[in-house]
Amino acid sequence: MNDKEGSKRPPGPIQLNRQTIALAYTGLHTFMRTPYCMTPEDLTAGEIEVAICGVPWDGTQITRSGSHAGPLGIRLADYSPSPLQGALHQSVRVDPFKELRVADYGDSEIYVGDTMRTFTSVTKFISEIAGTGAKPFILGGDHGITWPNVTGLAEVHGYGRIGVVHFDAHADTAPDMMGVLASHGTPMRRLIESGAVKGKNFVQIGLRGYWPDPPVLAWMEEQGMRTHFMAEIEKRGFDAVLEDAVNEAMENVDYLFLSVDVDVADPAYAPGTGSPEPGGLTSRELLRAVRRLSAEVGIVGMDVVEVAPVMDSGNSITALLASRCVLEALTGTAMRKLGITSPDYLDDRASNGPN
């Protein structure tokens, strides 16, 4: 049955799996066994609040590739049963699937060998989701997709009204990569140059290694970007830097987008990525930060990018980390809906130990 051929199926989410308990490696693969939506009408009819979607693209990767398989790898990574059985976050005692209406919206169309046609398609895809009122949580894909991802949101919510908190080992603000404007090393510059996001509304966390070079760093400073290098995290501590990021995130904007490149984490926690850089965040630090920003500040969408399953280690630990980033963002979004927005909230039953 194909909606595009005029089927009479009433709009709304479709449950694709028969089992009450379905593991990630069985059946049809939606994120955490959430129902599937095919059209904006499905999202609207289901009153979907968060739409999980994929952009299986690595055509702008100039290092090691494989992130086109990221969306499928992330959907397959989890070992847990369907959320129909519950997904209670043990630290905060909130189940995002009981508080939010979540669906999988499938993947954007891509055009192998045609970057700009693909990015135009992705922009339309994200605008389509956001136009229904749902928040797109996007599985990548290389980091070049953040350009059309945020552009799609800006077309709905307004240019210059969205801030970005960007977790990454790399700034992704190059003027070009080997003469190419659309690259996984350039999306943040493209967003600033287009006016979709103002430079002062970019907050970057976790940068390290041996790039960018002085001219790119100078350009970043001229734009007023807030960049928190790992050196600052080492000196001041991650909690202090995260507190600053929380305060900076919504200055003079109405909406916040999170962009998580898994290489912000140390390769010990995320080896399955194209540009690993030793000396990064722990998975625990990253997950807590995503949940905190989603709960305290609130987000209009997110992407998790640069997962390359072919380079992952046993047990798919990089894909699992990416999956958990999405779950933390869902949990934080559910917490905010419930009015739980206090700094670094933890449930007493989880944090204080046995009485």
- pLDDT reported for residue 19: 62
Please state whether the peptide bond connecting residue 141 to the residue before it is cis, i.e. omega within 30 degrees of 0: yes
Candidates 164, 176, 67, 55; CA nearest to 118 is 55
Query: Using 50, 70 and 90 to split pLDDT, how confident is the model at 270?
Result: very high
Q: How many domains does the chain have?
A: 1
**pTM of the model as a whole:** 0.94
Placement of tokens 């009981």 in the chain: 98
pLDDT in tens, 108-165: 999 998 999 999 999 999 999 999 999 999 999 999 999 999 999 999 999 999 999 9
Query: Using 50, 70 and 90 to split pLDDT, how confident is the model at 1?
Result: very low
Please determine, for residue 293, whether its predicted confidence score (pLDDT) is greater than 90: yes
Residues 144, 184: Cα–Cα separation, whole Å: 4
Look up residue 327 and give its amino acid. L
> Mean pLDDT for the chain?
92
Residues 291, 190: Cα–Cα separation, whole Å: 27
Over residues 189-208, mean pLDDT: 97
The answer as to whether 232 is a domain residue is: yes
| Torsion of the alpha carbons at 195, 201, 205 and 208, rounded to the nearest 10 | 50
- pLDDT reported for residue 22: 67
The answer as to whether 173 is a domain residue is: yes
Please determine, for residue 314, whether its predicted confidence score (pLDDT) is greater than 90: no
Per-residue CA distances from 339 to 16, 74, 290, 332, 352 (Å): 32, 29, 17, 10, 22
Over residues 225-242, mean pLDDT: 97
Please determine, for residue 23, whether its predicted confidence score (pLDDT) is greater than 90: no
Element (H, E) at 202: strand 202-207
The answer as to whether 272 is a domain residue is: yes
Please determine, for residue 20, whether its predicted confidence score (pLDDT) is greater than 70: no
Tokens (6 digits) for 299: 């987000």
- pLDDT reported for residue 33: 87
Q: What is the CATH number of the domain that holds 54?
A: 3.40.800.10
Contact 30, 60 (CB under 8 A): no
**DSSP-assigned letter for residue 166:** E
The answer as to whether 355 is a domain residue is: no
The answer as to whether 3 is a domain residue is: no
Residues 31, 329: Cα–Cα separation, whole Å: 14
pLDDT in tens, 38-58: 999 999 999 999 999 999 999
What range defines the domain where residue 129 resides?
Answer: 13-350
Question: Considering only 80-94, 193-207, 264-278, which range has the smallest mean pLDDT?
Answer: 80-94
Candidates 59, 37, 14, 69; CA nearest to 308 is 69
Question: Considering only 175-189, 269-283, 297-311, which range has the smallest mean pLDDT?
Answer: 175-189
The answer as to whether 7 is a domain residue is: no
Residues 139, 305: Cα–Cα separation, whole Å: 6
The answer as to whether 207 is a domain residue is: yes
* Percent of the chain topping pLDDT 90: 79
Please determine, for residue 7, whether its predicted confidence score (pLDDT) is greater than 80: no
**DSSP-assigned letter for residue 265:** B
Please determine, for residue 26, whether its predicted confidence score (pLDDT) is greater than 90: no
* Percent of the chain topping pLDDT 70: 91
Please determine, for residue 4, whether its predicted confidence score (pLDDT) is greater than 60: no
Query: Using 50, 70 and 90 to split pLDDT, how confident is the model at 249?
Result: confident
The answer as to whether 146 is a domain residue is: yes
